[in-house]
Chains A and B, each alone.
Chain A
C-alpha cells in the first residue's frame, strides 16, 4: 500500500517532484543571457501547474528554450524539465502553421538535396551579400550566418560508387545512419568512418531507407512530419537489427539522442526493441577495444593539441567519456577537456535572426575557454556545434571519428586485426 501510494503520485514528467530549489535555473544558458526567458523552473514545472488549469497560461517565451537539457541534468529531483517545456510548446502549436523560414530550416534534407544539385552555385549564392540580405530581411535568417558549405557529391553517391561493393567481404558488419550533415555537407566524415571500421574488420552498410532524423523538425514545431520520418527510420533500423543482425551506428550526437530518447518521449514512437542497438560510433568502437575484440594502432609521429567540447545532447546521453577515452588512446594527442558549456546554436535556433545575438552571447563562455586552451583545433560529436564554433572562433572543428581516422596507421591496424587486402 505504502509503496503504491508513492508510485501512483508520479506524473509522466515527474513535475510534482519539483522542490523549487531553482538549481535548474543556475545552469540554463538562455536565462543567463536574457530576461525575456523565465528560466526552466518557471517555464517547466511552475508553468505546468498553470497550464494544466488553463492552456491560455502558455507563455510565448517558451520558444526561447534551446532544448539543451542542461536543466534536466542538474535537477536533483529527476524532473524532466525540458520535456515539459517541449510538450507545452507542442500542444500550443497544434493547428498552427510553421513559417516558410522555419519549414526551410527544419527540412535539412530537402534543403540539402536542392543544394547538392547546384552545390557550386548554392555555396556562392548562400554566401553572397544580396542573398544574405534577402534571407536576413525577408526570411529572418541572420545575415551573420554562413550556411555550411554543400558538398558536390552526396555521401550516399560516393558510398555506392566507391565503397559498397567491398563491404560484404568483411567478417563483421554494422549499418550506418549517416544523417543529413554527412550526406549533404560533409561526406568526408562518413568516409572516415568507413575507413576506420573497415580497418578493424567491420563492413559498413546503409539502411534500407534513411530520412532526416527530424531533430530540426521538432525544434521548429513540425511534429507530424517528424513523426512520419521517425517511423521510417525506426522501421529501417529494426530491419537492420533483426533481419540483418547489424547494430546501427551514427556519427552525430544529436541524431543519436533524437532517435533514442526524443522519439519515444516527444513523438510517441516506440523504439524500445531497438533503442539499445542505436549507438554513437565512438561508443561502439570503444566497447570493441575494451572487450579486446579489435585493436587500434596509431601513427608514430602524430602530434596535435586539441580541445574536446561536450555537446549538450552528448552530455544528456552521458557518452562523452567514450569519445574522450578513444581520443586519449592516440599517442601524441594532447587533449584538453573543456568545461561543459552550451555553444548557443542548438541546431537551427541560432540561424534565426531574432536569436542571433542571444545565441552568440550564450556561446561566449565556451568561445573564451577555447581561446584560453591554445589549441590548433576543436573536436566534438555534434555538427551544429561545429558550425557555431568554427564561425565564432575561426578554429577548425572535427568529429572524433575524423581525428581517429586521421591518426590511425591503417596498414598496421588491418594487420593487427588480421584483415587481408
Chain B
C-alpha cells in the first residue's frame, strides 16, 4: 500500500502531524498501537513549565535560553510563537476549545491541588490567569460520593493554600449510586458515560443547585464530556452558578475527549488511522526508508515518500530499555542515552531522572540517524525525541505539537 506519508504512533504528535499533512491534501496513514498517553491528560497543554525547578512565566522568552539539543532549539526559538499559534488553530479546527497565551503561562490545577504552569486549558476546565487575582473567592468543591479519582481533601487543601475559601460538599445522585454497585468502576471515564443523558445531568444539576448556594464558582471533577464540551454546556445551563471542571486522576475524560476529536478530524480529512496495529520493522535503501511493516498488515508493508516516528517514550514503548542498553525497537535508529545503566536513574522518585531525557537522536531538521548517517525521509516528533523532559520541564505536549508542525513544514517543502 502506497501513501505520501506514514506516521508511526497515533498520539498527540502523530495526529497533529497527520492532520496538518492531510489538510494539505496528502495521503497519510497513522499506525496507532493501543491508546496513547493523552489519556493521562487532564485538559491542558504546556509549552514550557519549569527551568531548573523554577516556574516559567513567559515560555517564548524562556525557550530562547534552552540548550542546543532541546527540540525547541532545533526548530528555532524564533519560530515557536507562530508554530504555537498554528497548533492552537489546529486544536480549534478539531473542535477542541482551549484558551491560553504562548507568551504568558497561566495556571492549571492538578488533582492533588497543585498549581502548575500551562499554555492552553480547555474552556470548561478551571484556569487561573494570575495567582494574585483569583477568579473567585468562594468555591464549592463538589465531591462525588465513593468516587475513586479525586483525592478531595488534598485538592481542597491545595485550593485553600492558593487563597480560595473552599466548601467541600459531598453529593450523589441515583445514577452515581447505581454505578457504585461495582466499586472498582467509580472512575471518571465510567461516570462520564453514565452522565450523558439529560435526565442524569438534571439530577446532578439539582444537587448542585441545592447544595452550593453561597459559592461564586462551583467546581466539579472532570467527569463530563467524552465526546466534546456539549455535556458541560448542558449542565451549565441547568445550574444557577458558574461551573468549572477540575482534573481527575487518569485515565482522564479530558484526554479521552481530545483524542477522540483529533482522531475524528483526521479521518474527516481523509486520513487512514490504523487503530490497534503497530509498526514492527522498516526496510532501508541506503539513506532512505522505503517501507514499514506492521503487525497486522504482515506481508503487505506500507510504502511512502516520507515517514514520521511518533511512537512515544518508554511508557508507550517507543523506547525500550533492557539491562544493558536503551534502544528504539521499530527501526533501530540511533538514540541519545547514557551507555552506563548505573547513571540512568537516581534515588528519589521526585528527583530529575536522566532517562527521561533519553530519546532518538536527530539532526537539526529532526531527521533520524542510523549508525550516524542521516535518514533523509524519516523524521521524529514528540516524546520519542531526546533532549527534553516532560515531567521536570513541563514541555511534553508542546514539544509534541510543535515538532509535529515543524516536521509537516519540512515534508511539505519536500
**A residues apposed to B, CB below 8 Å:** 2-3, 6, 21-23, 25-27, 31-33, 35-39, 41-42, 46, 72-76, 276, 283, 286-287, 290, 315-319, 321, 324-325, 337, 339-340
Contacts and interface: CB of A to CB of B under 8 A. Distances in A.
A337 to B, nearest CB: 5
Given A276-B298, A290-B300, A73 B275 contact: yes
A317 B182 CA distance: 31
A276 B267 contact: no
A286 B272 CA distance: 15
B34 A74 contact: yes
B170 interface: no
Given A39-B184, A74-B276, A337-B267, 6 more contacts: A35-B178, A39-B190, A42-B184, A76-B315, A315-B276, A321-B297
Nearest to B178: A35
B39 A26 contact: yes
Contact of B322 (A6, A22, A317, A337): A6
A76 B35 contact: yes
Determine the main DSSP class of A at the interface with B: helix
Interface string B254-279: 00100010011001000010111100
A2 B322 contact: yes
Interface string B185-222: 10101100100000000000000000000000000000
Nearest to A5: B323
Given A35-B178, A37-B182, A38-B184, A324 B322 contact: no
B299 interface: yes
B329 interface: no
A6 B298 CA distance: 26
Nearest to B300: A287
B178 A26 contact: no
B251 interface: yes
Contact of A325 (B1, B180, B251): B1
Given A2-B323, A74-B35, A39 B182 contact: yes
Given A21-B251, A339-B264, A340-B275, A76 B34 contact: yes
Interface residues of B, number: 43
Nearest to B182: A35
A346 B346 CA distance: 50
A39 B274 CA distance: 25
Given A26-B251, A38-B182, A73-B34, A315 B187 contact: no
Contact of A76 (B185, B294, B316): B316
Contacts of A72: 276
B296 A317 contact: yes
A220 B331 CA distance: 43
24 contacts: A3-B323, A21-B251, A22-B189, A25-B190, A27-B35, A31-B185, A35-B179, A38-B182, A38-B184, A39-B185, A42-B182, A42-B185, A72-B276, A73-B275, A74-B276, A76-B34, A276-B299, A315-B275, A315-B276, A318-B274, A318-B277, A319-B296, A321-B274, A325-B272
Contacts of B300: 283, 287, 290
B291 to A, nearest CB: 12
Interface string B159-185: 000000000000000000011111011
Contact of B189 (A25, A287, A316): A25
Interface string B302-325: 000000000000011100001110
Contacts of B193: 32-33
Nearest to A287: B300
B250 interface: yes
A2 B324 contact: yes
A318 B295 contact: yes
Interface of B: 1-2, 29, 33-35, 39, 178-182, 184-185, 187, 189-190, 193, 250-251, 256, 260, 263-264, 267, 272, 274-277, 294-300, 315-317, 322-324
Contacts of B295: 318
B264 A73 contact: no
Contacts of B178: 35
A415 to B, nearest CB: 26
B53 to A, nearest CB: 28
Contacts of B189: 22, 25-26
B299 to A, nearest CB: 7
A365 B306 CA distance: 36
Contacts of B316: 76
B313 to A, nearest CB: 12
A73 B39 contact: no
Contacts of B263: 339
A25 B185 contact: yes
Nearest to B33: A76
A23 B276 contact: no
Which 9 A/B pairs are nearest by Cβ-Cβ distance?
A: A318-B296, A73-B276, A2-B323, A26-B189, A318-B277, A35-B181, A35-B182, A32-B193, A76-B34
Contacts of A287: 300
Nearest to B177: A35
Contact of B39 (A23, A321, A325): A23
Contacts of B296: 317-319
Contacts of A41: 184
A381 to B, nearest CB: 15
A31 B187 CA distance: 11
Given A26-B39, A26-B251, A319-B296, A32 B184 contact: no
Nearest to B188: A26
B279 to A, nearest CB: 12
B294 A318 contact: yes
B124 to A, nearest CB: 19
A286 B302 CA distance: 13
B1 A23 contact: no
Contacts of A76: 33-35, 315-317
Contacts of B184: 38-39, 41-42, 46
Contacts of B185: 25, 31, 35, 38-39, 42
A31 B192 CA distance: 12
Contacts of B315: 76
Contacts of A21: 250-251
A318 B315 CA distance: 23
A6 B322 CA distance: 8
A73 B256 CA distance: 15
B4 to A, nearest CB: 14
A319 B275 CA distance: 10
A135 B395 CA distance: 61
